[in-house]
Structure 1
């Protein structure tokens, strides 16, 4: 009898024949199938699963009945196509089936992953689900649209965390901390005040900016009855809403339905929805979904092979690599199309490369020309990406459709966010006027700005004024009220309140895109905490008693917003117009004034006089000609104010506006 091949040896030969052997010199050598569709392709007749993993030897597809627990009821070996694409097509209707991929690299099976293109996931995001996305659309979704915004500085952006707005025991919400709680109408707080959505509508903002609301690691969705809080800057699944804000994180379709209903309700009220996105790093590194597909590829490294960390969160993504760029562009496009979003705020945008950001803008504007795109024009550390290629604030002129935050105005107004004792224009610092002027004109080139005297930027960095995001506070660092308190311990409460109001009065009358932190209109405090990203609700929540206690402050903010919306002269669309129509007048220590002339940007007021007095005493301001008061101290006359001439006393720490018809 002839001796045959031993069974174990035959098995090893067969495995070696089916396993892919690859040996790339560097990530740049990896194939990049940029035109290949990597999203799940579902129909009732069949579903096609795809994953890009050029270094994999084998890839398995595992099917589950539940989002957590239990064994896979089926395993399939995926087939290798060209350019590192692995696929598997299954006949029949698999809607409602959970699945994972598993990659074999260098002879080792990695952890299971839902895949970076997962569109629906179960509890804690470990398993993806096949889903008919049309079944998640709320009634009227086909005709749903956000507000029209021809230029970004027509928007007044209100930055909030979904949980913060409704979690207080007196918020009046029946769904505190949830997507649907945020858009619940007719909620009442202490003494019958309006809260939640009705408060937002009453305030008059045009867009809500949601802190990261895609699926993140920090919250354990199986333990939502325990105290948990996080801002969400630790992304896990980029194309799925966070489950802890839904009514049932175990069912993948629920969070999608409720997120869409939230967007639809905001749109029904004429309010746009902007999503804070964190493509610059992942919440995990070694076992992130990116590394469980193509180990190492999606991240930047130094020449010695060490991971770079410009995010200060353990890693940074490599947006300049073709498949990472493809992912970012397709991901934001997916959110824009599937969820009807009206804008995107890029966390640490300076980590991304300029080419990627311009492609993002081009893609999004083709989907919806009203979409607003802005980001933080800085990094949190050094990066191997050359400075001239980074989407930094001072490179904004190379990104003509994108805006960046003006830390020049932010810290010019109230002092450095990194130094508690530092003060700014409103809190009594000297020699801050040029930073205020720079903020007023939207960081453009203006012949009356002395750039050498601007706090950070020594040159203009925008092409047009709307590319500058005008703000004085956000979720990071102290709230405005807390910063003023800690930097001016000698000031009484009344003075602190006047500084607070003047800060955002300057923001709302600057030519950039106006942005405010939720609760600033209520003197929001986080009890002096600098960084509340994982602190308790008692620190982060909006306490609705503040609205009852400070109605004068709320009404001041409400009137500021109404003023900006009514007068397009405060939001000119071109640098040419700002230079032509806006002229600075008296500028002295603690005082900045300017005029806007000739019905700028189609304004009903022919000439406008704006005076910011940060001094602790009233200023006797001389006038040329006759004017009509629009704003003085806490009074907003708008079009109905008294006539003034010769001179006017500008109250201490306040803004005055007058106009000529």
Structure 2
């Protein structure tokens, strides 16, 4: 049966000598690689036509090492390149390729396109040592990897300059005079794409600066674009990863609604260099102990017009509309494609600052302003983490906004069995497992760390990366030294989303950078275990009212509560797989939806959180889940208790900006394109907390409108200054407690198993954690934390503390919260008394 479809690519050229062939090969068939330098092969009248040249192929079998390297192809047949045709490989790679199977008499049986990443990695392996992009000192050099291109030229504004190809690496390069600096450029790449010979005008994947909206690259020297004081920048002291507390913040959210920031600087990098409400609050948070600010994507992304004049903001007086109205979201969604807001998970240029956050997006000014932001945060006592999105691009193929694929078509993206680009990440998935995509990731991260003094990287959908690739990033960072590079790379944090899904799930193509696989590496992964146990349910529940330990479940004893408490106890240890609970269960033996709950080997492996930019804010989740009659004062208490499970745990503590202020997005569960209105971060409590801003945008939220409407209409759920200030005060106290003792950062399984216990007899809804601080804390012999999530006073007893003298932690003894100050300890019986919906911390003097 004839199978000829040149729009698909089901053959995989995995190295210079081997093609993997879908299905069994036949000794009676004739196989070949047909290639056409003219790119004119077509299928007509039952056969191929065009300027066809052949590389002969012989049936064979994939070797064990080949099957190990390409596990998703392990059941494929193999075709071996005839040794006499080996010299044609590089020529064929610059041509249109079709793999064919014919009958002994020459009749066509199969014709399909060919996937080439494997053979490119093999043939051009030396390219991984090349320096790409703009380099050089007095004389600038530009280099681009384009091994399949026939010709690459530099378009330097209106001047066309020839580039030289290195045949060993496939890198094209050119060196020019100093006058090139500051000029804009693109590459003209003549290459076969989708079976057609084209000349693409495309920007540099290694761009360091670009024009507004990224249409052209700009040749700059990073060392000449600096804000005042950059060379003398003094960073806050480094923090061990498991001791870090990280505040997740969006650049535009930070100041877009802040009237104390000059209008021209709202929503920009410059807001971090002034003295608006937001910067004052960040300085206060740093004084409380906060260590890092994590910035949502700040690389050049494709989804916001970079010139302010090109944007269209929502019309109408949104603030005057009813709290449960559909009108606000209608106005916001009408302009969403062209307004000033997007989360930014749509990469265009990986190593260029985003231009919409600059007061002038044209060229290198964004570089200086970005560095100014870093300096402003460092001066406030905070280190800076970047959210990076190397797992996908905004576009692929010949589409507008595609960069990588228009230089080396079919290489940088992960392809499915038929040659289609995988999109399980909701965009065109990249393939960091391919050598030069992996190199781009490492080179980009190192540039951000060295040139912008970035202190940490959060990898979006890290499970779509190889574990080996993430370890390569870690090694590259660790190699950076203050003397040579101006940065201590060992102090740079590295963490990300270790989710396991899509075409790579279950290590289908490589060993993934997922939660369990990264155990012991010190590369952190977000723990959904603690999150779901505290909040209740999961992010994809049809019913948002499913309760957890922090949202009302504590008053309903039973197996569900017991499991949530086990998940939280393991979470408090840093989600350690080998920690043994009082029940005798290891962390890995506790169930999380049927999977092992504990997966970490050390607390550095875990990032604990209860809310983030994804899904509803913690306040909004509690609005759905807590009993409707819950008072605002008790909502504040449950917000604080939920955050305490993060701040008082071992491992990295991760906080969503504004959660300390009861931040609401008016129940929006996916605000990536919901405009400034639903994403407001309000620093002035008189403005409220964002709740009751109208029904959240219809896309992604409409199914929950029946749940949301009565809540948004309830004025009792709109936080006032008393509630917001109380929540912020309790948050600051928790931060100060976290950093008051090294016992909250024990660092290893052995120390945690030895020093962290849950000794109290089980009381449903109450968790008691004891930390032995003997020999590590100069003030205290032990610290005991009681989490009482119930609506009644809790009285857990710890027999081992009978006869001891414990007092409320000094921070809480001086708290403005009269309720926590009522907490007590009876030394005669070792019994604690902790008020309802309260976290109390007790210390035992000694040492």
Question: TM-score scaled by structure 2?
Answer: 0.70
Offset, 1:528: 0.5
Offset, 1:56: 0.6
2:638–2:837: 8 Å Cα contact kept in structure 1?
A: yes
- Supply the distance in 2 between the matched residues of 1:366 and 1:603 (Cα, whole angstroms): 35
TM superposition outliers: structure 1 runs of 4+ over 6 Å:
636-643
Offset, 1:566: 1.5
Q: Name 1:538's counterpart in structure 2.
A: 677
CA 169–133 in structure 1, closer or farther in 2 if over 3 Å, else same:
closer
Q: Name 2:786's counterpart in structure 1.
A: 611
CA 643–422 in structure 1, closer or farther in 2 if over 3 Å, else same:
closer
Q: Name 2:652's counterpart in structure 1.
A: 513
CA 222–180 in structure 1, closer or farther in 2 if over 3 Å, else same:
closer
Offset, 1:641: 9.8
User: Is 1:448 aligned with 2:581?
Assistant: yes
Q: Name 2:664's counterpart in structure 1.
A: 525
- Supply the distance in 1 between the matched residues of 2:426 and 2:291 (Cα, whole angstroms): 33
Q: Name 1:9's counterpart in structure 2.
A: none
Q: Name 2:743's counterpart in structure 1.
A: 569
1:156–1:513: 8 Å Cα contact kept in structure 2?
A: yes
* Match for residue 213 of structure 1 among 298, 314, 317: 298
CA 345–636 in structure 1, closer or farther in 2 if over 3 Å, else same:
farther
- Supply the distance in 2 between the matched residues of 1:89 and 1:592 (Cα, whole angstroms): 66
- Supply the distance in 2 between the matched residues of 1:554 and 1:395 (Cα, whole angstroms): 37
2:822–2:835: 8 Å Cα contact kept in structure 1?
A: no
- Supply the distance in 1 between the matched residues of 2:570 and 2:728 (Cα, whole angstroms): 27
Q: What per-residue deviation string (whole Å, max 9, x for no partner) do you get for residues 413-437 of structure 1?
A: 1112222122211113322110001
2:118–2:434: 8 Å Cα contact kept in structure 1?
A: yes
CA 523–641 in structure 1, closer or farther in 2 if over 3 Å, else same:
closer
* Match for residue 182 of structure 2 among 96, 121, 128: 96
* Match for residue 167 of structure 1 among 256, 281, 291: 256
- Shifted more, 448-457 versus 370-379: the winner is 448-457
Q: Name 1:497's counterpart in structure 2.
A: 636
User: Is 1:75 aligned with 2:160?
Assistant: yes
Question: TM-score scaled by structure 1?
Answer: 0.90
- Supply the distance in 2 between the matched residues of 1:232 and 1:373 (Cα, whole angstroms): 20
- Supply the distance in 2 between the matched residues of 1:222 and 1:52 (Cα, whole angstroms): 31
CA 539–616 in structure 1, closer or farther in 2 if over 3 Å, else same:
same
2:793–2:834: 8 Å Cα contact kept in structure 1?
A: yes
CA 392–283 in structure 1, closer or farther in 2 if over 3 Å, else same:
same
2:824–2:832: 8 Å Cα contact kept in structure 1?
A: no
Q: What per-residue deviation string (whole Å, max 9, x for no partner) do you get for residues 104-136 of structure 1?
A: 113633432211101111100111111121111
Report how many aligned residue pairs link the two structures: 625
SS at match of 1:585: coil
Q: What per-residue deviation string (whole Å, max 9, x for no partner) do you get for residues 387-409 of structure 1?
A: 76010112122x61301101101
User: Is 1:423 aligned with 2:547?
Assistant: yes
1:48–1:89: 8 Å Cα contact kept in structure 2?
A: yes
1:163–1:541: 8 Å Cα contact kept in structure 2?
A: no
- Supply the distance in 2 between the matched residues of 1:468 and 1:634 (Cα, whole angstroms): 32
Runs of 5+ in structure 2 lacking a partner?
A: 1-89, 95-113, 314-338, 481-488, 554-560, 687-720
Give me the CA root mean square deviation: 2.5
Runs of 5+ in structure 1 lacking a partner?
A: 1-19, 65-72
Q: Name 1:10's counterpart in structure 2.
A: none
Offset, 1:477: 0.4
Q: What per-residue deviation string (whole Å, max 9, x for no partner) do you get for residues 442-471 of structure 1?
A: 011211163444424415321211221111
2:604–2:652: 8 Å Cα contact kept in structure 1?
A: yes
* Match for residue 726 of structure 2 among 517, 531, 552: 552
Q: Name 1:656's counterpart in structure 2.
A: 840
User: Is 1:60 aligned with 2:153?
Assistant: yes
1:563–1:638: 8 Å Cα contact kept in structure 2?
A: no
1:157–1:209: 8 Å Cα contact kept in structure 2?
A: yes
Q: Name 1:142's counterpart in structure 2.
A: 231
SS at match of 1:56: coil
Q: What per-residue deviation string (whole Å, max 9, x for no partner) do you get for residues 592-634 of structure 1?
A: 1121114364463211111111111111233523211114796
- Shifted more, 460-469 versus 340-349: the winner is 460-469
- Shifted more, 164-173 versus 480-489: the winner is 164-173
Q: Name 1:472's counterpart in structure 2.
A: 610
Q: Name 2:424's counterpart in structure 1.
A: 310
Offset, 1:88: 1.7
- Supply the distance in 2 between the matched residues of 1:596 and 1:373 (Cα, whole angstroms): 27
Q: Name 2:384's counterpart in structure 1.
A: 273
Q: Name 1:105's counterpart in structure 2.
A: 191
- Supply the distance in 2 between the matched residues of 1:387 and 1:79 (Cα, whole angstroms): 35
Structure number with greater Rg is: 2
Offset, 1:38: 0.7
SS at match of 1:621: coil
